[in-house]
């Protein structure tokens, strides 16, 4: 049986301090569950923080990089997947994740949320208000969490229903 993969998405260069703290804690909790963490792989923002959190607890980290090399990869990534696809790599992030947890971010993060919902993934938002459009479209596949701990509990529930 394949290992559970939880995608953590969120802001890169302009991630808030709160998003970075949430991402680090999510990484820790994902590792404690024995799940693999997947993110965009770069050494900035939510990507770097979630990978660092997972690695601090001995977790497995996977980074799906937009570039054609590992030059900008986080040193906390165990498995770097080089795509050379730019933002199109968001499809790989989403399809390779069993569940997606999203910290606040910008257009790239919104694209991952949209792609996740279009592809039937559960998406959990941690302190991220994306407005009513997605909420109406997604129904029960789009969930809200106030804390990383609550997000992990929602992820457990979603995975149990698969």
Task: Walk along the chain (162 residues) and give the pLDDT tens digit of each residue.
Answer: 689 999 999 999 889 999 999 999 999 999 999 999 999 999 999 999 999 999 999 999 999 999 999 999 999 999 999 999 999 999 999 999 999 999 999 999 999 999 999 999 999 999 998 877 777 777 788 999 999 999 999 999 999 997
What's the CA gap between 128 and 142, in Å, rounded? 12
- Tokens 């929602």 sit on residue: 154
Other beta carbons within 10 angstroms of residue 14's beta carbon come to 11
Query: Nearest to residue 105, comparing CAs of 80, 81, 123?
Result: 123
Dihedral (Cα; 86, 90, 96, 98), 10-degree rounding:
160
Structure tokens at 13: 């260069």
Contacts of 147 by beta carbon, 8 Å cutoff, 6+ apart: 22, 126
DSSP-derived pairing of the beta strands 61-65 and 79-82? parallel
pLDDT of residue 87: 93
Query: Nearest to residue 120, comparing CAs of 162, 59, 76, 75?
Result: 162
User: What is the CATH T-level fold of the domain 5-160, as seen in this structure?
Assistant: Rossmann fold (3.40.50)
Helix (H, G, I), strand (E, B) or coil at 86: helix
DSSP-derived pairing of the beta strands 99-102 and 79-82? unpaired
C-beta separation of 9 from 102 below 8 A: yes
C-beta separation of 8 from 30 below 8 A: yes
Q: What is the pLDDT of residues 117-149, one digit of tens each?
A: 999 999 999 999 887 777 777 778 899 999 999
């Amino acid at each position: 049986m394949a290992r559970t993969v939880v995608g953590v998405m969120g802001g890169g260069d302009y991630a808030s301090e709160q998003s970075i703290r949430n991402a680090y804690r999510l990484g820790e909790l994902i590792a404690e569950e024995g799940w693999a963490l997947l993110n965009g792989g770069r050494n900035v923002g939510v990507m770097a923080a979630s990978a660092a959190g997972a690695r601090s607890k001995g977790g497995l980290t996977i980074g799906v990089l937009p570039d054609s090399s590992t030059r900008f990869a986080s040193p906390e990534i165990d498995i770097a997947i080089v795509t050379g696809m730019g933002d199109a790599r968001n499809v790989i992030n989403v399809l390779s994740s069993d569940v997606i947890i999203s910290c606040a971010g910008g257009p790239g993060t919104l694209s991952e949320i949209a792609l996740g919902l279009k592809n039937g993934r559960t998406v959990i938002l941690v302190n991220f208000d994306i407005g009513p459009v997605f909420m109406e479209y997604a129904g029960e596949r789009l969930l809200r969490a106030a804390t990383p701990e609550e997000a992990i509990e929602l992820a457990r529930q979603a995975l149990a229903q698969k």
